[in-house]
């Protein structure tokens, strides 16, 4: 994929995630000669791992699902959830120009999004909240269109695939859960599986891409069609300046150092700093674990380059997009981190406990809020240990972390110690080191509440988002069911993240702001290299990818003089 490097471009983009690829695509569409530089061997960044959802209110796509969303409603919602004056101007700008960005990408790139008819905001009871239209996901993509570059697209997490490379669309999950119970579901699964094995006859993994992998692939295909030069496995040694203006970069390539000039500007989009231990220590709470569910390569390069030019990194609330994670070892021996987002915590028959065997937060809250609950528990009990537990029925139906439904992978994960199993609650408590009586009492209350359909401790299942994460086929509470079918299982969980929010201070159009409060000419930032616009909150699914697309677009348009 590495292109023959010229010495001069109009725009140089650093980082090949959603924000960087969007910026490169738009710049090229505006007629600018563009170079995209990526330090790893793959295109896609954490976007390739993600669910691919993009939160952009009031776009033209929302009309496809008869959404009643408006700019005013979205503004009220963000005011209620984010609140702080910090970033308020950029949040308003995001809402104002977000629909324009989506319309532009729809018309000028291969990025094709479809709105979800029902996906609630994470605070459905807040003023201006919506249950439809704001969240979009990419249409499935045929990776054969990428040609040889398909092997350079970062693959999804193996834990979210079947048979070593088969991706499953969100709408097809219900068919896999009903396989052999429903004729239509069984036929659908049989067709998808047959098609996958046919694809594997000629490709290294399935070619039908969905979720975040489809979004990354669509952006990559857009770059191919716009003849954007792409340089992989290349790092930036330093920025180049001329009279305080950024004019290019010095790159470290396999062939040595290269000086590359940028006539219009350099865009930083390297993904923040989730894999930089020193920056995590400086910007994240002491209670945060060192474990991130993000793609490797995001080590703060963009932030450090911006700071070297005089940029600053302001505080942004919690400075990260939180998610509970667990640690495990794959069958090939590689260590990995699993993000517990929506596949298990909120489902019936699951419970999160501390070392006293007690619940400490609402398991059906968003992953971001769940970790906030962990932080609160840590403040009350500094040495808290957290586990996610379930019974055998729930493990079979929904999976547990890296263990997939139908107990796929269970034997391996029991052998490595990732999962602990026991024939009784007392035995489970003893094995994981929690108080047996505390666990027994907690399960008794939980089971009683499950039968009544009302969580008397934390209100689990009490709003539309909770219900969405649960199982709509289970009543009276889609998020709760008694834990009563032995054996019982546990996985240790930690306060991890899906990316960092502390980024460079910028103008609304992405220009990095220097020490004297003025934009640094020729230097831009977007994605997680740009200070987050949500001030530590997490309003809904896709609030990282939505702004990544929008500000990638706005940054490129500003460079193009639009």
pLDDT in tens, 175-214: 888 888 899 999 999 999 999 999 999 999 999 999 999 9
Q: How far apart are CA 147 and CA 92, in angstroms?
A: 40
On the question of pLDDT at 85 being above 90, the answer is no
Other C-beta atoms lying within 10 Å of the C-beta of residue 80 = 16
Tell me if residue 82 falls in helix, strand or coil: coil
Tell me the average pLDDT across 295-299: 96
Domains plus CATH for the chain?
32-139+212-272+501-559 (3.50.50.60), 158-208 (no CATH), 320-497 (3.90.700.10)
User: What are the tokens at 419?
Assistant: 């999962």
Those residues whose C-beta lies under 8 Å from the C-beta of residue 340, and which sit 6 or more positions away, are: 323, 324, 325, 326, 367, 370, 388, 401, 493
Q: How far apart are CA 369 and CA 387, in angstroms?
A: 17
pLDDT at 380 (0 to 100): 79
pLDDT exceeding 70 applies to what percent of the chain? 99
Cα dist from 362 to 162, 365, 456, 472, whole Å? 30, 6, 11, 18
- The β-bridge relationship of strands 488-500 and 420-422 is antiparallel
Q: What is the pLDDT of residues 396-423, one digit of tens each?
A: 999 999 999 999 999 999 999 999 999 9
Tell me the average pLDDT across 291-319: 92
pLDDT at 232 (0 to 100): 97
Cα dist from 406 to 398, 411, 542, whole Å? 8, 12, 29
The C-alpha angle 450, 130, 361, rounded to 5 degrees, equals 35
* Count of residues making up the chain: 562
Pair 17, 269: CB distance under 8 Å: yes
On the question of pLDDT at 3 being above 80, the answer is no
Other C-beta atoms lying within 10 Å of the C-beta of residue 308 = 11
The pTM score is: 0.96
């Amino acid at each position: 994929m590495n292109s023959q490097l010229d010495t001069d471009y109009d725009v140089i983009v650093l980082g090949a995630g959603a924000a960087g690829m969007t910026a490169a695509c738009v710049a090229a569409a505006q007629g600018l000669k563009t170079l995209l530089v990526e330090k790893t061997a793959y295109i896609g960044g954490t976007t390739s791992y993600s669910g691919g959802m993009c939160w952009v209110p009031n776009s033209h796509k929302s009309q496809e699902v008869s959404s009643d969303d408006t700019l005013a409603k979205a503004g009220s919602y963000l005011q209620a959830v984010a609140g702080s004056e910090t970033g308020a101007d950029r949040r308003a700008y995001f809402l104002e120009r977000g629909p324009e960005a989506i319309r532009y990408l729809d018309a000028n790139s291969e990025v094709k999004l479809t709105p979800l008819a029902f996906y609630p905001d994470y605070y459905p009871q807040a003023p201006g909240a919506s249950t439809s239209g704001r969240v979009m996901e990419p249409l499935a993509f045929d990776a054969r269109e990428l040609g040889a570059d398909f092997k350079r697209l970062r693959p999804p997490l193996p834990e979210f695939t079947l048979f070593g490379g088969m991706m499953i669309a969100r709408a097809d999950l219900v068919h896999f859960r009903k396989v052999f119970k429903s004729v239509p579901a069984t036929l659908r699964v049989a067709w998808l599986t047959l098609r996958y094995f046919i694809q594997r006859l000629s490709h290294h993994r399935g070619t039908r891409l969905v979720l975040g992998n489809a979004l990354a692939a669509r952006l990559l295909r857009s770059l191919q069609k716009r003849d954007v030069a792409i340089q992989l496995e290349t790092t930036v040694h330093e920025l180049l300046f001329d009279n305080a203006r950024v004019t290019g970069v010095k790159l470290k390539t396999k062939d040595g150092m290269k000086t590359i000039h940028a006539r219009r500007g350099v865009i930083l989009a390297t993904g923040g700093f989730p894999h930089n231990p020193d920056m995590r220590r400086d910007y994240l709470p002491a209670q945060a674990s060192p474990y991130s569910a993000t793609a490797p390569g995001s080590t703060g390069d963009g932030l450090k380059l911006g700071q070297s030019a005089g940029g600053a990194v302001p505080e942004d609330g919690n400075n990260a997009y939180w998610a509970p994670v667990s640690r495990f070892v794959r069958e090939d021996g590689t260590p990995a981190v699993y993000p517990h987002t929506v596949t298990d915590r909120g489902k019936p028959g699951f419970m999160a406990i501390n070392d006293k065997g007690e619940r400490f937060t609402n398991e059906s809250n968003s992953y971001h809020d769940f970790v906030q609950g962990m932080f609160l528990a840590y403040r009350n009990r500094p040495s808290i240990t957290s586990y996610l537990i379930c019974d055998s029925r729930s493990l079979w139906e929904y999976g547990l972390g890296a263990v997939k439904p139908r107990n796929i992978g269970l034997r391996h994960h029991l052998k490595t110690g990732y999962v602990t199993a026991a024939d009784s609650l007392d035995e489970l408590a003893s094995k994981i080191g929690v108080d047996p009586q505390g666990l027994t009492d907690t399960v008794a209350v939980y089971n009683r509440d499950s039968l009544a359909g009302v969580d008397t401790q934390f209100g689990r299942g009490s709003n539309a988002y909770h219900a969405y994460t649960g199982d709509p086929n289970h009543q009276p509470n889609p998020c709760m069911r008694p834990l009563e079918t032995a054996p019982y299982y546990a996985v240790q969980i930690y306060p991890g993240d899906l990316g960092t929010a502390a980024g460079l201070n910028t103008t609304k159009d992405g220009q990095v702001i220097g020490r004297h409060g003025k934009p640094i000419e020729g230097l831009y930032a977007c994605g997680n290299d740009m200070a987050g616009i949500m001030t530590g909150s997490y309003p809904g699914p896709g609030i990282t990818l939505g702004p990544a697309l929008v500000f990638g677009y706005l940054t490129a348009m500003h460079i193009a003089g639009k």
